[in-house]
Chains A and B, each alone.
Chain A
Amino acid sequence: MNKRYLFAFLVVFVLFLAAGLGSAVGLQWLFGVVIPYAAVIVFVAGFARKVLNWAASPVPFAIPTTGGQGRSFDWIPQAKIDNPSGGWGVLLRLLFEVLTFRSLFRNTRMRLKEEKIAYQLEIFLWVGALAFHYAFLTVLLRHTRFFLEPTPGCIQLLETLDSFFRVEILYPGIQFGLPAVYLSGFVLLLAVVYLTLRRILIPAVRYVSLVSDYFPLLLIFGIALSGILMRYVTKVDIRAVKELTLGLVTFRPTVPEGIGAVFYIHLFLVSVLIAYFPYSKLMHLGGIFLSPTRNLRGDTRAYRHVNPWNYPVPVHTYEEYEEEFREKMIEAGLPVEKELAEAAQEKE
């Protein structure tokens, strides 16, 4: 047992209960309109503030990761994406990092194998992270159907693709699969469970995990779970839900009657996630683009990176020193680089 994940779990649970109770006692306006608006405002302002703060921060050192041979002689092949020396290379590296998590793919684990050190590819975190992020993206895009009327064709196409796998179960007491099962929701749920359990069960990872690691994971777990519950188990009136969400984005908020508590729980957890986003580790969404390890060129041997923090220090070079004390140095018999006559000649 660990205080950190228990605390995170407790917070999510309390949020869950708060929204459930709140909608039960008639606080629909608070949970359906006020909190979502506040969350969006906090998100936009917080996100902009954070990024502008980062933009204003100087980069003291050139610290690009060098995942391959840097640019050298023409006859030494350069790893153009892993150690880029130009702008396009950096762009490609960033693109592959964002879309395929290359640096996570390099994750290895050291093991002793027949008394020798061996590095094994540790691929599960990479697979889990890919599944999680792409499932989340799909879920996010699918949800635009609640905010746009009519729903754009590309979103409808995505919905069709996402629901190509028909799972319909009907036994006495169990009925599942209508409306059509969206795979992305379940992939998201499984991936977030894996990522959470990984933190809890692997001792080394647990040691470095904080509340701020567990909380977003458990919050997203709560969101995925409430979403899945709402779609497949305790259904809500989807027409009323869209009326509410469209009311929000058209600035004509309404709270239609007869939307179940699960919806308000779902919406509240999403609002909390959105509002928490700029102040959490989830800001790696923006941070990845501003990471000096990813967005600097690997050209530290060719160009000197001047630290913008460097204070203008008044220096006194040896040449200036000799210029000042030449006569006294010669008098004392110290060696000088330029004799008196030579210096005088230069001055003329």
Chain B
Amino acid sequence: MKDKRWIVTGLVVFLLIVLFPFWYNRGRAVPPPEVKLTEKAKAEKECVLSRDYMKAEHMQILDLWRETVVREGNRIYTNPKGREFVMSLSNTCLDCHANKAEFCDKCHNYASVRPYCWDCHIENPKEAR
């Protein structure tokens, strides 16, 4: 039948579109990105907050820091363990994690996240100075 040919063609096209990720990635292994820690970061052992928190929710604390510094003028953050940090992306975060390309960008690119931090902050303030 004439119609049947069209219907089957349509069905095949639809299923190809739906299963696109399967045949596009066929025979390919996509290992997750390995984040590189600098020697300084390794020596510190723990970031401002716990590892799990930083993995999933670091944007929250960066947001909070920005708010506290810019709106309230308070630059000192005390973490639950009582340790004090200067709230600064460029001077505190990037002090340990000086390797943005090997650290921040690895996961951001992987997950297709484009944070606007770098619209204002320069990548490596230490070198630029």
Contact = CB atoms under 8 A, between A and B. Distances in A.
Interface in B1-54: 3-4, 7-8, 10-11, 14-15, 18-22, 24-25, 28-30, 32-33, 52
Interface string B91-115: 0000000000000000101111111
Interface string A283-313: 0001001100000000000000000000000
The 8 closest A-B pairs by CB, nearest first: A147-B21, A151-B112, A249-B21, A55-B7, A145-B112, A243-B32, A235-B56, A178-B59
Most buried by B among A145, A155, A160: A145
Contacts, number: 100
B109 A150 contact: yes
A246 B8 CA distance: 29
Contact of A54 (B7, B67, B115): B7
B8 A55 contact: yes
A159 interface: yes
A185 to B, nearest CB: 15
Given A147-B25, A168-B63, A249-B22, 5 more contacts: A160-B114, A170-B64, A175-B64, A237-B55, A286-B11
A51 interface: yes
Interface of A: 40, 43-44, 47-48, 51-52, 54-56, 144-145, 147-151, 155-156, 159-160, 168, 170, 175, 177-179, 235-240, 242-243, 246, 249-252, 256, 258, 260, 286, 289-290
B114 A156 contact: yes
B57 interface: yes
B111 A145 contact: yes
A43 B24 CA distance: 19
A348 B3 CA distance: 46
B30 A149 contact: yes
B25 A239 contact: no
A145 B109 CA distance: 10
A179 B113 contact: yes
A208 B113 CA distance: 44
Contacts of A170: 63-64, 67
A119 to B, nearest CB: 36
A256 B114 CA distance: 24
29 contacts: A43-B18, A47-B15, A48-B11, A54-B7, A55-B4, A55-B7, A56-B4, A145-B111, A156-B112, A170-B67, A177-B63, A178-B60, A178-B63, A179-B59, A235-B56, A235-B60, A237-B55, A238-B111, A238-B113, A239-B32, A239-B110, A242-B32, A242-B110, A249-B22, A250-B29, A250-B30, A251-B22, A258-B52, A260-B56
Nearest to B62: A178
Contacts of A144: 20-21
Nearest to A295: B3
Most buried by B among A144, A160, A179, A239: A239
A249 B7 contact: no
B46 to A, nearest CB: 16
Nearest to A285: B14
B56 A236 contact: yes
B7 A290 contact: yes
B18 A286 contact: no
Given A179-B59, A249-B25, A52 B11 contact: yes
A239 B111 contact: yes
Given A55-B7, A149-B30, A238 B107 contact: yes
Contacts of B55: 237, 239, 258
A175 B19 CA distance: 37
Nearest to A232: B60
A25 B14 CA distance: 38
B112 A44 contact: no
A162 B24 CA distance: 25
A250 B28 contact: yes
A192 to B, nearest CB: 22
A33 to B, nearest CB: 14
B47 to A, nearest CB: 14
